[in-house]
Structure 1
Amino acid sequence: MALGRRLSLRGLCVLLLSTVVGGQVLELRLKDGAHRCEGRVEVKHQGEWGTVVDGSWSLKDASVVCRQLGCGAAVGIPQKAYFGLGLGPIWLLYTSCEGTESTVSDCRHSNIKDHRNDSYTHDWDAGVVCSGFVRLAGGDGPCSGRVEVYSGEAWIPVSDGNFTLPTAQVICAELGCGKAVSVQGHELFRESDGRVWAEEFRCEGEEPELRVCPRVPCPGGTCHHSGAAQVVCSAYSEVRLMTNGSSQCEGQVEMNISGQWRALCASHWSLANANVVCRQLGYGVAISTPGGPHLVEGGDQILTARFHCSGAESFLWSCPVTALGGPDCSHGNTASVICSGNQTQVLPQCDHFVSEPAGSAASEESAPYCSDSRQLRLVDGGGPCAGRVEILDQGSWGTICDDGWDLDDARVVCRQLGCGEALNATGSAHFGAGSGPIWLDDLNCAGNESQVWRCPSRRWGQHDCRHKEDAGVICSEFLALRMVSEDQQCAGWLEVFYNGTWGSVCRSPMDDVTVSIICSQLGCGDSGSVNTSVGLREGSRPRWVDSIQCRKTDTSLWQCPSGPWKYSSCSPKEEAYISCAGRRPKSCPAAAPCADREKLRLRGGDSECSGRVEVWHSGSWGTVCDDSWSLAEAEVVCQQLGCGQALEAVRAATFSPGNGSIWLDEVRCGGRESSLWDCAAEPWGHSDCKHEEDAGVRCSGELSPALFPVLLGTRTTSNSLPGIFSLPGVLCLILGALLFLVLVILATQLLRWRAERRALSSYEDALAEAVYEELDYVLTKKEGLGSPDQRTHVPAENYDDAEEVPVPGTPPSSQGSEEEVPPEEEDGVRSSQTGSSLNFSREAADPGEGEESLWLLQGKKGDAGCDDVELSALETSSVTFL
């Protein structure tokens, strides 16, 4: 009942709407967009175009607009007159579509009248971005990928059977993506969805849109194909050589950019780039890239984009390209090339083992008239201008050993790749260990050679290195991007790393395409906005670049044209603050909740507890200056990381210079603080240091088990094994085994000690018994010479009573007379007996004294080291009874 009432009310609304608009469908258009399927929404009423207020504008409303115009699906609803202020009346105050209607006339909406009379302005004009009839999906951006068309319900791929370049040119133009530079096929369809567009497009290349091109149904309703058609569009297309001479195989290099021919600047032009141009034009290989005056007078504006070709690419636009910050270029500094001629001409291979003389004025002009099959690249550095140096030779990529590696060697690499000047020559596999052969060792470049393999070195492939010694470089054209914010991820001040330093980016005239590329590059969604209401930023830094204008064909900020690099490209109030759609509260670098421990790390050392000190602040890692750096500060760092005691406070970037910000300077700790954050220091980011002054520590290495996940990072996870063989389990097994071994050793030593004590005690008892037996024997003999009544009783067991036995000094003068032993002599005998027992114990413990100890048992004289009292007593006894 309720559903029927709702349908009746909706039908009544539609009937009333039809009465208002005269029974006709409202005519729509999108105005001031980049193409027909995006722009400001305009409605035609009584012969006059007017706009729609975006107060209640939703994606459902936009979907109906796109469907009515045959523009595919709605992908965006920019508001607040994003496409500019309209003119004339404001016809609609709102629309309320379900999203399934065929036209806007089928939706509920306000009365059609000029709402300007109700105090509404064009500042709230609604806009729509539709996907269009065709799109390129699965590529690096909206201008490359698989060709798909919209059926009204779903996106369906187009077969590569009979797909032509003119059709691709129409698609690229319709999408605002420049010109088609390649058409490919053979991308297999998804097994779960085998649908293929049932028509073949037969465009001539001049049509404004794909949907108006002639179409031919596939025979039998099934298109012959080997996969989906793929198209690559580019702002760069067509290359030519212009010269005042007669040879077509040499001249000034020019490219067609959006229908305009522009010469290329020579400031970053390399022989590898020239090789690609010669091959692309069918002119053989590049012999040289002569400099000097330009070859052609006049011409259009010079293109400052820098191409970073390896030399193996088929087209110049297939090479990595950097347009951001391109330097100003005069007409006397344009790129040129001399090609060998016919493509079938074969040049002799270059003699790579002939080094250029040190100090020679080597340059591209002196490049040999030969074919060079070697290629150069930088790997694992985050871009084409930083990383591990690798050379392709004999079909294998190999590395360079860092023996003797310095800035002169790095300069040759950076210049050869068109990456500017060398900032740093890294060693010890700074960018990770490579694989394959090590082609060069003991390199000794002068710095002006044309190619790195023309520098003096050991013979090719000869070395005494391992890959842990792989060489790397960081060139001035190396670029990195970040957002700086205290508490936000994907929102903050935009900074670019250039020429070895982080600096700001200027916001003028940053448009929606540019912001979208920035957010996508940072993994923060595909849309965003420039915030102009934030206050001035604290601190000073370079403001590197201004006038950035990205194109749809650009897949990263580095490809976007802009003004040249300058230290102060704009005023401080023009620094860009970006808010991306994917913004969220910032989490800690390692884990949440954020503790001081996760905001401190060591890098570049030979263990987890040694290295360059880095701290996390404002969304990025930075270093600490070594001003005032001492063992007290190092102690706090080691304790905070659970790395035991500080062994050394390292200075002067001993663990290699860091990059990014220098967050702390003049740190002063007492040594007992629980965190480096508790120590006194200069304000964050305020320092007068360079990275050559980065501080480091070397700790004793007593890691707390709880800190292993933090210090080892992803290695804890990636290297772990199931069950007990995870890293913590292995560590526990090792520690347990060591503890068990220590306990076994201690127990063994204890048992041996107790056994020796028992043996020694038995030996002492036996020795004492032997002494007393001898005394008893002496006394017995003496008593035997006299009367039996004179025999003195000696207890058999209580040896302590033996000290009371009188020992006669001389034979008696008469029978029956006894001489008392003076107390002194009595004490002397007692001391003698006791001392003899200790003396035996001492000598018995020394096996080397065994033979000398027999003198006492035999009644012989000892050496001068023996006890005099003991000797005299026993000597007297012996004399008496002999």
Structure 2
Amino acid sequence: MMENNLLLSDHQIRLAGSNESCSGRIELFHYGVWGTVCDDGWDLNDAEVACRELGCGPALGASMSASFGQGTGQIWLDDLACSGSETSLGVCGHSGFGTHNCGHHQDAGVICSNYSIRLAGSNESCSGRIEIYHNTSWGTVCDDGWDLNDAEVACRQLGCGPAVGAPQNAYFGQGTGQIWLDDLACSGNETSLGLCVHRGFGTHDCVHSEDAGVKCSKYSVRLVGSDNSCSGRIEIYHNGVWGTVCDDGWDLNDAEVVCRELGCGPALDAPQSAYFGQGTGQIWLDDLVCSGSETSLSMCGHSGFGTHNCGHHEDAGVKCSSNLIRVVGSAESCSGRIEIYHNGVWGTVCDDSWDLNDAEVACRQLGCGPALDAPQNAHFGQGTGQIWLDDLVCSGSEYSLGMCQHSGFGTHNCGHHEDAGVKCLNHSLRLVGSNELCSGRIEIYHNGVWGTVCDDSWDLNDAEVACRQLGCGPALGAPQNAYFGQGTGQIWLDDLVCSGSENSLGMCGHSGFGTHNCAHREDAGVICSSKTLLVIGSDESCSGRIEIYHNGVWGTVCDDAWDLNDAEVACRQLGCGPALGAPRYAYFGQGTGQIWLDDLACSGNESTLSICGHGGFGIHNCGHHEDAGVICSSKIADA
């Protein structure tokens, strides 16, 4: 045994010539030099030992004849004769280190199963009880000394994001059978748990009540360069480092995978050429070929992690639909009961563990400012139907609630009397320097600071986005040169390039937050129409068919469930007096084109129709013969 230990300490093992973490040419580090292994006598028993030593799963192949390319320099081992049960190649029978009759055209390789680790006891793909595969058996890991460094290695080996928890005491339930590892001491940089210091496979003083678990970030992808939670430059986490994706071959199928992985809606665009600004450091993926159905980018065809012919001017980005969250039960657009859209159904969030960190994520996802409060106990009224999320644990930096740790969609022990809510700062965009509600100098809120927008390239398309974000009507003007006065302090955005269809200025192309060559004499402004609601088909200014302005298009409202409460909100939004009637069946004539809202459920106290309960913009089962109308008393100013 002493001789074996010495041999083990004398060399290390690695793979070369492949982009796969568990397949490649075998190389050994012995007495300060890396060298190869000759394929004389090389077989699946030898490969099984190499795979075990590498911390990979069982051997699938024992490649010969330099199938992973020829190495250079030293050849360390020849004529290996392993039984398959040894702990390292060095303890197998062989001719002696450096003794061989081979050339590098005979370099040996292995193809091992990637998966020598799995999670159990949880519905989450990146959280659960740790189980590892060794000597053809799955077994658990003891929690003696188990910490975040160990969990970090497990998360990396699983292909998940960074570790956020290292639960002990069989947090995810007790396993059965073998306990493989105990007293793990990982630095956090290892590629597998088997490579960390430990007592030896199967050596422990534990029982299954001490089984270790992990909570990893489910998402190894993030978006940068935008203030929208579902649009930005793609960055992925690999081998402990964040890096970008090259835009060679980048298309909507690839973007669809990212949007799904982030918990956002369908992909709307796949921008190239560093549309959201250039990243720095590592470029991880190039030449991606996704079908669009994969669950992560790493599952798509690609050139291999770190293999590329790109610069950061080619960094890829995405624009995903972000309308998967809404607030209900409040007259405020940024405060209310949280409802999320999942599997085609709107549902609530349970308030178990609900706090300001969770609310911060919800506010970001809503496109609002920072969280002010995280009310519980159905503060904004009880929802109905589905409860989607429970036991949320957000750090506050996630892009959507679905990215936070939780019990699983639809898994909960709650009733609607526990529905969670938020109170967010109303606007991440404001107007200054004017007495008009929908005209003024543009200021945006970013990183806790209000700042202005430079007028370089500022045009009506950009103004259209600002007007939409402000909840105003269509853009009428895009004044430059500090038309509404000069701001002070930070200038946040420059060189904006909006198509006009974006939901916020941060989703447009720009130089990056805080990157500019401007002074405040160039502060941009907008002149928007104050109307987002019209009445048509009547000679009266306070009676007619309801039409609302959304995403740059005017459309009607369906009369399903339309009543005086809904009409009251419309009359208030129009600046008219109290509702006198809520006529249905296209009483004021049929509209054309888009039908925006259906199944409205207003309490009557809301400030706009859009914040009432509804099925979602554009979701309806109506025809224009069902267009809703209002009859309001005269304008309050005329009374």
TM-score computed with the length of structure 2 as normaliser: 0.35
Relative CO higher for 1 or 2, CA cutoff 8 Å, sep ≥ 6?
Answer: 2
- Name whichever structure is richer in helix by fraction: 1
Q: Which has the larger radius of gyration?
A: 1
TM-score computed with the length of structure 1 as normaliser: 0.27
